[in-house]
Amino acid sequence: MRRPTPNWGWASLPCLLLAWSLLASRFPAYILPQPWEVALEGWRWARNGSLWPQLGASLTEELGGFSAAVLGALLLGTATGLSRRLRDFAAPLTGLFMAIPPIAWAPLTMIVFGIGYWSIVVVIFIAAVFPMAVTVQQGVQAIRHGEVRAARVLGASRWQLLRHVYFPASLPCLTAALRIGFSQAWRALVAAEMIGASRGIGWMVSTGGQIGNSSQVLLGIVLIGLIAWLMESLVFRRIERHYQTWRT
């Protein structure tokens, strides 16, 4: 009997911190601080209460833009997956919007909606909705026609087809769409906050660079990566495991 392959994922973070520390030892602290100095900077922000409004602002903007993008992607992806005419009509537009970097929309959204919540939410929506819609569309198209015909022979209505055939069979693509969409939305959020925001994690990184505070810049970068990792580990992987079991 073969022994299970050990999981060395636990060693990646200590190796990263060690490499960071060794690299930082070659530079002055104002250029590249040590990990413990960045942790101390985070403690200062948390202790004086400045950190929580930044996290709250970013998470609120992400929730608003990403939720709207999920709803839009489900509607658009399902519709284009079921209708070839609509798919042919939407394909050039989807390709066009996906080719434009989402951050390019930030100046326009700030002109229309002003600097703040709504302009950033719109950028997040544009960044996430089209990649997710394409993934959902591929999931719907991958469903075997024999299953659909069998359900129709048994008298399934359109709603029953969507609920009992299309939705379960497309679950792997739906979970992949959520991962892709959140990644795109999170990047767009940080970039938009760096360009035009008065608070948020991206604002922390931007202002830290303007005043030459490397610890603040790295603190923002660490928070960006940490939140993305927590979402992947605690949310998307659990959703994937749950629905893979449910689908089976």
List the end-to-end C-alpha distance of the chain, in Å, as a whole number. Answer: 27
Q: Average model confidence (pLDDT) for the chain?
A: 85
pLDDT per position as a tens digit, 104-124: 999 999 999 888 889 999 999
Q: Say whether domain 49-247 belongs to CATH 1.10.3720.10.
A: yes
pLDDT at 14 over 90: no
Task: Say how far apart CA 123 and CA 197 lie, in whole Å.
Answer: 13
Task: Say how far apart CA 172 and CA 179 lie, in whole Å.
Answer: 11
CA quadruple 8, 14, 16, 22: dihedral positive or negative? negative
pTM for the whole structure: 0.83
pLDDT at 176 over 90: no
pLDDT at 7 over 70: no
Across the range 127-152, mean pLDDT stands at 80
**Residue 133 in tokens:** 């819609």
Report residue 238's pLDDT band, with 50, 70 and 90 as the boundaries.
confident
For the chain, give every domain's residue range.
49-247
**220 φ/ψ angles, rounded to the nearest 5 degrees:** -60, -40
List for the chain the helix, strand, coil content (%; round to 5).
Answer: 80, 0, 20
pLDDT per position as a tens digit, 199-218: 899 999 999 999 999 999 99
Across the range 146-153, mean pLDDT stands at 67
CA quadruple 60, 65, 71, 73: dihedral positive or negative? negative
SS3 178: helix
Mutual angle of helices 84-99 and 51-82, in 10-degree steps = 150
Q: pLDDT value at position 127?
A: 94
3-state helix/strand/coil string of 96-158:
HHHHCCHHHHHHHHHHHHCCCHHHHHHHHHHHHHHHHHHHHHHHHHCCCHHHHHHHHHCCCCH
